[in-house]
Amino acid sequence: MKQSLLIWGSFLILGFPILTLVLGELQTYLKRKSNPLEAFVDNLQKLVLPPLVILVILERLLNLATLGIALQILKTVLWVAIAYTTLALLRAVLLTTEKQYRWQITVPNLFFQVIRSLIVLGIGAHIVTEVWQFDLTQIAAALGVGSIVVALALQDTLSNLVSGFLLLLESPFQKGDWISADGTDGQVIEMNWRAVRLLTFENNILTIPNGSLGKNSILNYNRPNLMRWLYMQVQFSYDDHPNKVEEILRQAWKDTGRDDEDFWPLVSSYDDSSITYNIWYAAEEYMNAFSVGSTFKKRIYYLAKRHGLTIPYPISHTYYTKLSKDNLEDNTQKIIGYLRLRPYFAMLETETLEQLAFGAAVEYYGVDEQVIHQGKYVQGFYIVEQGSAIVTLEDMQGNQQTVAYISPGDFFGETVLMSGKPSDVSVSATSDLIVIRLKQEKITNLIAERPLFSKQIDELINERRKTIRRLRGEELQEAESLASDRALNGRSILRKLRS
């Protein structure tokens, strides 16, 4: 007995002050670091230790175990403090959101609520049975018949609870996943004991009871990985050779900046008025698939228009006819009429303009499509009829720098005049763009034969190339005119560009 008193006395005299000091210092350190364990340590020091010490003094040192109700109240206060402190530890270790420390564990909200409830019920049962000496078996027997009635009344609620547990164990999805459930697509934003909440594409909240969710099939777009394969159909005329169509489709896919291995065009069927092609393509994440598909379809439209492919009506509202002789003449006259409106073509004779227009092509580009790629060879000399574009240059650091903005009447593609040199800039459409593409040999012959035209083109090209040299970081020097005023022979621009 005396030895027991000595041990408990030593704990109170030495252990309690030391433990209080250690917990105080630890709490201060954790608070300074904004550590989630700070609340647990603080509760342990201020809520658990004081009633524990008082209980030890009354029961072990003063031997006042017969105090009755006063001692029961003290024990109840101690166990409530233990429950509150344990819940603080639970909140620090188990998270329903993204964890901040490696020792933390991310769990579904339903699992967290169940563990918290079990802790509260367990400590509550201990207080009732051990501290206040109530017999719960008699209470359970008395409530037996009533429990059956309650269970029948709460059948749906219990079904949701059980289904929620099964969903946790099987884990077909987690918070943040995009799923298809109950006929609706949505992102999982919350999982609790009763239901799962989805944020739909229309920015609405859909609440699905766990019982209903457990009875339906669930499609998870995030598993086994974020890559999604999507499917679409497109039809082209029998006049368009399948190999050419496949080449155009692959080019449209490449223009979206995607890998060729994520794209599969297949001939599906030969229909009454067209050939149907099935296209499979891949995109990362649920939301990204929409933008990828939209961009790809727009690229198909403009490439089909540029290459004269026919998408038969009424399968698509876009219909292109092959140019007959009359159509071709009308098209040539329209090009001639537009060229006459440009100052640098105004002085040319009709015959010269007809030579330029013959073989020229009217091409269509969508927003963000590249007409010219830096480092690739230019296909012609372009004049903007409608829309706008931007000329950019990738500098030494890999950043895109703006060289010029292109508007109706402007031209680009002057590097087509260089012999065997790729373009040093990129040109991209900033709105729906219509351009007239003149053949290389036509514009080259015109420059060689028309010194005045050469001089006008020279002045515009010179300013643009000065900007290119500045963006490249090259030393700016006063450039010589490509068409000398003293010896204006029409060939100076060619000599300069080819040098």
For 216-247, write each residue's pLDDT tens digit.
888 998 888 888 888 899 999 988 999 999 99
pLDDT tens string 317-370 = 444 444 444 455 667 888 888 888 887 787 788 888 888 888 888 899 988 899
361 in the same domain as 289? no
Determine the pLDDT at residue 268: 92
Determine the Cα–Cα distance for residues 445 and 205; give it in Å rounded to an integer. Answer: 66
332 and 457 inside one domain: yes
pLDDT at 333: 83
C-alpha separations of 111 from 40, 138, 159, 192, 225 in Å: 21, 31, 16, 8, 25
Return the pLDDT at 83. 94
- Give the sheet arrangement for strand 263-270, strand by strand: 227-236, 275-284, 263-270
**The two structure tokens encoding residue 316:** 């698509």
Please tell me the predicted confidence (pLDDT) of residue 223. 85
Q: What is the pLDDT of residue 246?
A: 92
Place of tokens 């969710």: 213
Host H or E run for residue 200: strand 195-200
- The rounded mean pLDDT for the chain is 80
Domain count of the fold of the chain: 4
Choose the final residue of a domain: 220, 246, 261: 220
Given a cut of 50, whether residue 483 has pLDDT beyond it is no
Verify that 174 and 130 share a domain, yes or no.
no
User: Pick the residue with more confidence: 2 or 203?
Assistant: 203
Q: Is 179 exposed, middle or buried (0-12, 13-18, 19+ CB in 10 A)?
A: buried
DSSP of 326-371, one letter per residue?
HHHHHHHHHHHHHHHTSTTTTTS-HHHHHHHHTT-EEEEE-TT-EE
Structure token pair of residue 143:
């409530």
CA dihedral sign of residues 304, 305, 306, 308: positive
Structural domain of 426: 325-498
Rounded distance between C-alpha atoms, residue 245 and residue 235, angstroms: 10
Final residue of a domain: which of 95, 123, 142? 142
Q: Does 425 lie in the same domain as 409?
A: yes
Q: Specify whether 494 is located in the same domain as 355.
A: yes
For the chain, first and last CA: distance in Å? 109
Please tell me whether residues 213 and 236 are part of one structural domain: no
- pLDDT at position 494: 45
Whether the upstream peptide bond of residue 343 has omega within 30° of 0, thus cis, is no
